[in-house]
Chain A
Amino acid sequence: MSQTPDLECREIVKKFDDFTAVDQVSFAVPQGTFFSILGPSGCGKTTLLRMIAGFQRPSGGDLLIKGRSVLEVPPNQRPVSMVFQHLALFPMMNIGANVGFGLRQRGVNKVDIKRQVERVLERVGLAGVAERPVSSLSGGQKQRVAIARCMVLEPDVLLLDEPLGALDLKLREHMKIELKQLQSEFNTTFVYITHDQSEALVMSDQIAVMNRGVFEQVGTARELYYQPRTAFVAGFVGEANRFAARIEGTEAGTLSMVTPEGRRLRGTDAEGGLGQGAEVSVFVRPEAVRLARQEQEVAALGNSGAGRVASILFNGANSQIILRDEVTGADLNVALPQTGEFRDLAQGDLIHFGWDPEQTRVYGRAGGAL
Chain B
Amino acid sequence: MTDRFKLAFYLLLAPLLLWLVLLILLPHLGMFVVSLREKVGIREYDTSFANYAVFFNEPLYWNTFARTAYMSIAATALTLLIGFPIAYYIAKLTRGRTKTTLFLMCLIPFWVSELVRTFGWMILLRETGIFSNLFQSLGLAVGPVEMLYNDAAIMTGLVYTSMLFMVVPLVTTLDSLDDSLIEAGYDLGASGFAILREIVIPHAMPGIVSGCIVVFMLSLGNYLTPILLGGKDSLWFTGLIYDQFITRFNWELGSAFGFLLLGLSSLIVFLGLKLSGQSLSKTMAQS
Residues of chain A from 152 to 205 with CB closer than 8 A to chain B in the complex: 153
B196–chain A nearest beta-carbon distance, Å: 13
Q: Cβ of B180 < 8 Å from any Cβ of A?
A: yes
Q: Are B190 and A105 neighbours in the complex by a CB distance under 8 Å?
A: yes
User: B residues within 8 A CB of A77?
Assistant: 189
Query: Which of A85-93, A119-127, A209-217, A337-345 interfaces with chain B?
Result: A85-93
Q: Are A81 and B178 neighbours in the complex by a CB distance under 8 Å?
A: no
Q: Are B189 and A105 neighbours in the complex by a CB distance under 8 Å?
A: yes
Cα of A88 to Cα of B178 in the assembled complex, Å: 8
What does DSSP make chain B's interface, helix, strand, loop or mixed? helix
Residues of chain B from 185 to 213 with CB closer than 8 A to chain A in the complex: 185-191, 194, 198-199, 202-203
Q: Which of A74, A92, A93 has the most CB of B within 10 A?
A: A92
Contact A90 to B183, CB < 8 A, known contacts A101-B190, A102-B189, A106-B189 = no
Cα of A82 to Cα of B181 in the assembled complex, Å: 12
User: A residues within 8 A CB of B280?
Assistant: none
User: A residues within 8 A CB of B194?
Assistant: 105
User: B residues within 8 A CB of A74?
Assistant: 186
Cα of A53 to Cα of B180 in the assembled complex, Å: 13
Q: Select A84's contact among B184, B189, B198, beta carbons within 8 Å.
A: B184
User: B residues within 8 A CB of A88?
Assistant: 178, 180-181, 183-184
Q: Are B180 and A76 neighbours in the complex by a CB distance under 8 Å?
A: no
Q: Cβ of A140 < 8 Å from any Cβ of B?
A: no
Cα of A76 to Cα of B187 in the assembled complex, Å: 5
Contact A75 to B187, CB < 8 A, known contacts A92-B199, A92-B202, A101-B198 = yes
The chain B residues found within 8 Å of chain A, CB to CB, are 178, 180-181, 183-191, 194, 198-199, 202-203
Top-4 shortest CB links A-B: A102-B188, A88-B184, A92-B202, A88-B180
The chain A residues found within 8 Å of chain B, CB to CB, are 53-55, 74-77, 80-82, 84-86, 88, 90-93, 101-102, 105-106, 149-150, 153
The contact sample of 22 A-B pairs, CB cut-off 8 A, is A55-B183, A75-B183, A75-B186, A76-B186, A76-B189, A76-B191, A77-B189, A80-B187, A82-B183, A84-B184, A86-B178, A86-B180, A90-B199, A92-B203, A93-B198, A93-B202, A101-B188, A101-B190, A102-B188, A102-B190, A105-B191, A105-B194
